[in-house]
Structure 1
Amino acid sequence: MKEDIAKCLETLQNGGLILYPTDTVWGIGCDATNADAVKKVYALKNREDSKALICLVANDAMLERTVEQVPEVAWDIIDLATKPTTIIYDNPKGVAKNLIAADNSLAIRIASDDFCKNLIQRFKKPIVSTSANISGGPTPSQFSEIDHRILEGVDYVVNLHREKTNPSPSSIIKLGNDGTVKVIRE
Structure 2
Amino acid sequence: MTVVPIDPERCARPADDWAGLICAVAERRDREAFARLFAHFAPRIKRHLMLGGSPEAQAEELAQETLAAVWRKAALFDPARAAASTWIFTIARHLRVDLLRRHQGDERLDEAFDFDGLEADEPAAEERLHATRLNERLRGALAQLPPEQQRVLRLSYFDDESHAHIAAELGIPLGTVKSRMRLAVSQLRRLLER
Pick the TM interval, shorter chain: under 0.3
Whose helix fraction is larger, Structure 1's or Structure 2's?
2
Structure with the greater alpha carbon radius of gyration: 2
Q: Using CA pairs under 8 Å that are at least 6 residues apart, name the structure with larger relative contact order, 1 or 2.
A: 1
Report the TM-score when normalising by structure 1.
0.24
Whose strand fraction is larger, Structure 1's or Structure 2's?
1
